[in-house]
Structure 1
Amino acid sequence: MLNSIDTAAVIRDGGAVGRYPDQIHDAVGWWLGACMVVTTQISRLAVAHDGHPVSVRFAHKLCQGAINAQHYACNVRYLGDQPEPELLALATGPLEASAAWISTSPAADRDTVQIRLYAKDGKLLDETTGLAGIRDLIDRDRVPIPVNSRAKGTIEGWPSEATTEARP
């Protein structure tokens, strides 16, 4: 694995959290998106962030990972800069989707990035609902990739047209 992480320290508390870029880096977003789709076998994912530039990078990577997860062809709804409660209201309501929310806490020496992963019912993933499986895939360097181009998912804005290339 290129640029590995300490998964036990980073993948916890309902997702991933760590100092950027030493504990957590952009690829972790891609890994989490792909591994979440495969581990929880989801077909829809809503993604939002707090607007911080680092959060935006992680959100884009997470979206790309989610649409490139083996044969699942996940539909990602990219909501952009949205408060976490709004994301959850949309995900558990009209979108009927699992969710991921990315935030960054700026600090003088290193920013801290937090990625929170939610099941379709709006509850944070825990060790029994997918987090342990995600950590295991990353630990074993088994981050999923698409099996073919027809298996690739899509990214849609909210509420705009579907695309796999223009968004994140």
Structure 2
Amino acid sequence: MLNPINADAVIRDGGAHGRFPDEIHEAVGWWLGACLVTTLKAHRIAVAHGGRATSVLFHQRLCRGAINAQHYACTVLTLRVADEDTLLRAMAELGGVPGARVSTTGPEGEETVSIVLYGPDGKPLDEDTGLASIRHLIASDRVPIPVNETAKGRIEHYPHPAEQEKGAAR
């Protein structure tokens, strides 16, 4: 594995959490996206981020990992910048799809990145609902890769409620 992480220390508490770039790096986003899709056998997920530049970077990688997860051809619906409540509402509106949210705290250069992974029930993944499997895949360098180009998914923008209201008013 190129640029390994301490999976036991980083992948915990519903997702991945660590100081960037010391404990966690951009590839972790890709790994989590691919592992989330294959572990939960998801063909559609919703994702969001907190708006900071580092969050955007990890969010982009997570989306790319999810669309390249084996044969699932996953559609990633990105809310772009959204808080947890908005993401959870969108996941429910989409029929109970899994999701992920990237957030960053702390000063630039010493930021802590948190990527929370949610099951279809809207609860953060725990050891029994997929987190242990994801940690094992990453620690053993078994991150899923695409089987071929036709199995690749796509990224679509999910409209925010305000955008939906504007569209309905037109």
Which ranges in structure 2 are unaligned for 5 or more consecutive residues?
161-170
Quick one: which amino acid aligns to residue 15 of structure 1? Answer: G
- Conserved? CA contact 2:20–2:109, under 8 Å: no
Aligned residue for 1:77, secondary structure, equals: strand
Separation (CA, whole Å) in 2 of partners of 1:27 and 1:109: 17
Q: Does 1:53 align with 2:47?
A: no
Q: Which protein has the bigger helix share?
A: 2
Tell me which residue corresponds to 2:101: 101
Tell me which residue corresponds to 1:163: none
Tell me which residue corresponds to 2:124: 124
Separation (CA, whole Å) in 1 of partners of 2:126 and 2:63: 21
Separation (CA, whole Å) in 2 of partners of 1:90 and 1:109: 32
- Conserved? CA contact 2:96–2:122, under 8 Å: no
Sequence identity, in percent?
A: 57
Tell me which residue corresponds to 1:165: none
Separation (CA, whole Å) in 2 of partners of 1:20 and 1:65: 19
TM value normalised by structure 1:
0.92
Separation (CA, whole Å) in 1 of partners of 2:76 and 2:94: 14
Aligned-residue offset at 1:138: 0.6
Quick one: which amino acid aligns to residue 65 of structure 2? Answer: G
Tell me which residue corresponds to 2:156: 156
Alignment of 1:137-156 (within 5 A): 137-156=137-156
Tell me which residue corresponds to 2:37: 37
Tell me which residue corresponds to 2:73: 73
Larger mean Cα displacement after TM superposition, 71-80 or 92-101? 92-101
Tell me which residue corresponds to 2:166: none
Bigger-Rg structure (1/2):
2
- Conserved? CA contact 1:44–1:96, under 8 Å: no
Task: Summarize deviations over 1:99-134 as a string: whole Å, max 9, x none.
Answer: 100100023761000000001110110001110110
Aligned residue for 2:24, secondary structure, equals: coil
Runs of 4+ more than 3 Å apart? none
Taking only aligned residues, the RMSD between alpha carbons, in angstroms, comes to 1.4
Aligned-residue offset at 1:43: 1.1
TM value normalised by structure 2:
0.91
Tell me which residue corresponds to 1:10: 10
Separation (CA, whole Å) in 2 of partners of 1:22 and 1:59: 18
Which ranges in structure 1 are unaligned for 5 or more consecutive residues?
161-168
